[in-house]
Amino acid sequence: MRFSDSRHLTRLALAASAILLMAAPAFADLTAFVGRTATPTSRNAKGLAVGTGLLIVGFEFEFSSTDEDLTSAARAPALTTYMFNGLVQTPFPIARMQFYGTIGGGVYHETLSTEPAGDHTNFGTNIGGGAKISLAGPLRLRVDYRVFTLRGNARHTPVQRVYAGINLKF
């Protein structure tokens, strides 16, 4: 191999390494939300989600708590979920909105205080989507719809939830 060929290969290797090491910048966001769980009755839900991602693909951990309803005939249990989700989102906002779809799984805990054996904990999955709407600077409004499928002895499945929250991108 000639000296000029080795210099050429060295430059090519350095350029390839630089390209591989330059990843898209990672972003993170935090969402505090309130909403309604509609199954079997409409009840208050609240929670927190923290996520990170690259340009199109992201991940999040979400905690949500839905109130118990003993006033209706359906007697809806309290529901707490701990979900880890993958997201696919538009790479940039369209008309100030960044749309996304999500799918994931985790653990749920159901409690009905009127039953002696009213607690159930098991695995659940969820699928949904929504939009993050730019407000000012890093502040966004997040709207989301999810359908949860609860395994085991869940009283009601699937469970639907809709929420709105304040999202901070950093």
Q: Give me the DSSP letters along 33-86.
A: EEEEE-SSS-EEEEEEEEEEE-SSEEEEEEEEEE--B-SSTT-BPEEEEEEEEE
| Contact of 160 with 147, CB cutoff 8 Å | yes
The residue with greater pLDDT, 23 or 102, is: 102
**Domain ranges (residues) in the chain:** 24-169
> pLDDT (tens digit, 9 = 90+) per residue, 41-89?
999 999 999 999 988 999 999 999 999 999 988 889 999 999 999 999 9
> pLDDT (tens digit, 9 = 90+) per residue, 113-135?
888 777 999 999 999 999 999 99
CATH number of this structure's domain 24-169 = 2.40.160.20
Res 22 pLDDT > 70: no
The number of beta carbons lying within 10 Å of the beta carbon of residue 122 is 13
Q: What is the mean pLDDT of the chain?
A: 91
Rounded-to-integer distance, Cα 50 and Cα 36, Å: 20
pTM, two decimal places: 0.82
